């Protein structure tokens, strides 16, 4: 079974994010889901992004890095939207990464160094009409990243919802989340 470090999205460590972590745990994986916002949860994506801007995106990534230091290096890093930043950074820069799952977002690999590390599998998941994922360039970064990785997969789901995996938000899409979860669990089952 895999050991996972899961980073929440801009609205915080919502009950929907905790539920997603629990699904992975129920499949037998060890899942760490730290709260980068120290208890803050926001009703809207805009409020959460504003909070992240006040704290600083670099400061949030650093919080993620420091939390990872307390764990063994053989982790699968999972990020949801804003959480992709620390997840992708760690997968690219921390030796020992077993894989990465980037949900709702993707950053160009050049942001964190010389590119995607050899031997680290990655999956990117997003909706094909999501104004953030498809409209702000993340989908292009995802295509480039999976092409560069030794084992990379991009999964697109029909729709325009951003945080569709969070069951506590109005954007939740049960059908897409069920398929995504099946793919995430298959990925985790194959991690060595």
3-class secondary structure, 162: coil
Helix, strand, coil shares of the chain, percent, nearest 5, are 40, 15, 40
Query: Taking residues 65-90, what's their average pLDDT?
Result: 96
Tell me the CATH number at 34: 3.40.50.1820
| DSSP output for 68-107 | HHTS-S--EEEEEGGGHHHHHHHHHHSTT--EEEEES---
pLDDT digits over 33-71, tens only?
Answer: 999 999 999 999 999 999 999 999 889 999 999 999 999
Q: How many domains does the chain have?
A: 1
Domain extent for 109: 3-189
Q: pTM score, two decimals?
A: 0.96
């Amino acid at each position: 079974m895999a050991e996972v470090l899961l980073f929440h999205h801009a609205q915080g460590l919502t009950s929907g994010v905790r539920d997603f972590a629990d699904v992975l745990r129920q499949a037998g994986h060890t899942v760490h889901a730290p709260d980068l916002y120290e208890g803050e949860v926001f009703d809207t994506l805009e409020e959460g992004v504003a909070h992240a801007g006040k704290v600083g995106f670099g400061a949030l990534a650093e919080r993620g890095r420091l939390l990872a230091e307390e764990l063994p290096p053989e982790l699968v890093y999972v990020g949801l939207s804003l959480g992709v930043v620390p997840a992708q950074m760690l997968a690219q820069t921390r030796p020992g990464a077993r894989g990465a799952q980037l949900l709702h977002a993707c950053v160009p690999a050049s942001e964190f160094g010389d590119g995607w590390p050899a031997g680290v599998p990655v999956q990117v998941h997003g909706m094909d009409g999501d104004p953030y994922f498809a409209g702000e360039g993340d989908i292009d970064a995802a295509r480039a990243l999976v092409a560069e990785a030794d084992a990379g997969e991009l999964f697109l789901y029909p729709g325009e919802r951003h945080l569709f995996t969070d069951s506590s938000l109005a954007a939740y899409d049960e059908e897409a989340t069920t398929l995504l979860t099946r793919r995430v669990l298959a990925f985790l089952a194959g991690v060595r």
